[in-house]
Amino acid sequence: MKNRPLALVVIDYIAIVCIAFAVPFAALLSQEAAAQQASPAALGVPAGTGAGVHSPNSPFAPLQQRSDVVPWSVLTDVKTKVEKNRMLPVFPAPVLALNQKNQRIQGFMMPLEPGEKQKHFLISSVPLTCSFCVPGGPESMVEVKTKTPIKYSLEAVVVEGQFAVLKDDPYGLYYRIDDATAVK
């Protein structure tokens, strides 16, 4: 039992987290009519946008305020426009000022491949609570490509590298950090 592969430990942990959230979610289903009135679509906000919500029931601590990282409030302050049947981001000046400069981002790792060490992953403003759900919209995630592999962590991480603002990414991402390194 002591030498279980990390992937199996992570899968077990995700299953426990999903079950822990299923009970409160079932209670919310009975309030579906009230939720429809307060839904993002009812408020004119497209679904899958924003920084995401860090549940008070989450087993993960929220991100600590740090003055040496780009705040998610800056990255999530993005509007969209429809152009040729595609939704494209419209970035404000403070976001555009970050482009092609060395930046630090703090968040939660979302691996794109299995393995204990990661060279290509997403970093999110809020932790994953379900392996089938994205925690927020594209403005709440940054694609990270590292110089050397970084050990996967369920806790918040900080990475530093060349920050890119993506105006028309084929995958719908808004941000990327290249040549990233882990920072304490």
Mean pLDDT over residues 53-80, rounded? 89
DSSP strand E in 47-116: where? 79-83, 86-90, 101-111
Closest residue by Cα to residue 159 from 108, 91, 100, 101? 108
Residue 28: is its pLDDT beyond 90? no
- pLDDT the model gives residue 5: 62
What is the rounded CA–CA span in Å between residue 18 and residue 143? 24
Residue 151 and residue 63 in contact, taking contact as beta carbons nearer than 8 Å: no
Residue 149: is its pLDDT beyond 60? yes
Instruction: Name which residue leads in pLDDT, 11 or 125.
Output: 125
Q: Can you give the residue ranges of every domain in the chain?
A: 46-183
- pLDDT the model gives residue 115: 93
* DSSP character string of 37-81: HTSTTTTT--TT-SS----TT-SSPPPPP-TTS--HHHHT--EEE
Q: Domain 46-183's class?
A: mainly beta
Q: pTM for this one?
A: 0.72
- pLDDT the model gives residue 56: 80
Please provide the average confidence, as pLDDT, over all residues in the chain: 79
Mean pLDDT over residues 128-156, rounded? 89
Residue 97: is its pLDDT beyond 90? yes
Mean pLDDT over residues 66-71, rounded? 95
What are the tens digits of pLDDT across the range 36-52? 334 344 444 444 566 77
Helix (H) / strand (E) containing 34: helix 32-37
Sequence-distant (≥ 6) Cβ neighbours of residue 96 within 8 angstroms: 165
What is the rounded CA–CA span in Å between residue 74 and residue 96? 10
What is the rounded CA–CA span in Å between residue 135 and residue 41? 17
- pLDDT the model gives residue 60: 84
Mean pLDDT over residues 95-119, rounded? 95
Residue 148: is its pLDDT beyond 80? yes
Mean pLDDT over residues 88-106, rounded? 96
